[in-house]
Amino acid sequence: MEASLVFPIILLCTVTLLFVGMYVYQKVFVHQVAQTTAERLAFTWDNSHKDLVTGNFNPSETDGLYWRLTQNSVTDLFGKLFSRDSSEVAIPSSNTGNSGQVEKKLANSSATLPKGMTGTAKYSNYILDHRIEIQINKPFLMPPFIRKWFDPQRAQGRATSHVVEPVELIRLTDITRTYIKAIKGRISPQKARDALAEPTQDQLAGPGRTIKTERQAASYLKSLVGGSEVVLSTTSGKSRTVDALDAHRVAHQAFYNVTETQLREEQMPKDTELLEQGTQVKGVVWHFFKKEVGGRQVPSDKFRKELERKGIVVVIHN
């Protein structure tokens, strides 16, 4: 009685373990095929005429001297900017000759792919990292009672291999060593530091200029702002001579030897009217080139704040 109950359970467990072992074997086998295919493609990537298994090739058959620039998916580096995917083909695939060089190399892996397997081969070029990714699927059927725990349709394997070119690395290393010696003595460390040194304030200011009269101050102001002397009329009928009116219709006035009383009684009312009018000038700037006769600074802080409240900008030239 006990044997009739235990034996079916043992048989069911044995069959289950058998199918589990078969499934694990298929998973490992598919992964091993994907890994082998990726490594073979990476090993023979520098020449599409190489045999994938042995690596043999005819020396007269090459991909050209500049295939790394024109036939190696260099633009994959900017794929995120231009929404461009990496080169990818479905395997097994027939090489029709209409695709690019990268697609042809990826399609060569179809020759070594076991029958019944399908998948994709993908190549990505990140300048310093060249990557080949193989994904393979193989159909696998299971009894219904085991499908609850395992994929009932297929066994899948994925592998990635990096393209490494020892010969190219040695060549670039030799070129670097050769040219480093040639350019090493072209510039000394001291000259490099001098070239990167920040300029001093005196160097940025340029040559000095001495202003001795109001006429010189007005002439300097015209050359500084690129303006010309004009005569304007205020709303009260008074005339206002502007030393330099620039292209943006900002009036610049030079003051050399004046007092605050003169400015407050004569100049400030005229400029205030011009600013309130707003048609002849868009702004007013007063330039001071000398202190008052008594040695006091013109304008004073109080007068300067008064000018700013009326919309007149003050610039002091030392």
pLDDT tens string 212-226: 888 888 888 888 888
Q: 156 Cβ partners below 8 Å, 6+ apart? A: 27, 30, 135, 136, 137, 138
Of the chain, the percentage scoring pLDDT greater than 70 comes to 82
pLDDT top residue among 189 and 170: 170
Which pLDDT value is given to residue 83? 44
| Strand bridging mode 118-125 / 130-139 | antiparallel
Question: What amino acid occupies position 267?
Answer: Q
pLDDT top residue among 270 and 79: 270
Residue 194 pLDDT exceeds 90: no
The predicted model gives 205-214 an average pLDDT of 70
Q: What is the mean pLDDT of the chain?
A: 82
Residue 202 pLDDT exceeds 80: no
pLDDT top residue among 295 and 140: 140
**pLDDT (tens digit, 9 = 90+) per residue, 45-90?**
988 889 988 888 888 888 888 888 777 776 655 555 444 557 889 9
Of the chain, the percentage scoring pLDDT greater than 90 comes to 18
User: Which 8-state DSSP code applies to residue 207?
Assistant: S
* 188's tokens: 């000394």
Query: Partners of 251 in the beta sheet?
Result: 245, 284
Q: How far, in Å, CA of 318 to CA of 315, rounded? A: 10
Residue 245 pLDDT exceeds 80: yes
pLDDT top residue among 165 and 292: 165
Confidence category of residue 200, pLDDT binned at 50, 70, 90: low
Burial of 19 (0-12, 13-18, 19+ CB in 10 A): middle
List, in sequence order, every beta strand (DSSP E) within the chain.
87-91, 118-125, 130-139, 154-162, 228-233, 239-245, 250-255, 283-288, 312-316
Which pLDDT value is given to residue 284? 92
Residue 156 pLDDT exceeds 90: no
Which pLDDT value is given to residue 211? 78
Q: How far, in Å, CA of 317 to CA of 14, rounded? A: 101
Residue 255 pLDDT exceeds 60: yes
The predicted model gives 160-169 an average pLDDT of 88
Confidence category of residue 278, pLDDT binned at 50, 70, 90: confident
Which pLDDT value is given to residue 123? 92
Which pLDDT value is given to residue 37? 93
Cis preceding-peptide flag for 114 (omega within 30 of 0) = no
Q: How far, in Å, CA of 91 to CA of 121, rounded? A: 7
Highest mean pLDDT among 1-15, 140-154, 200-214: 1-15
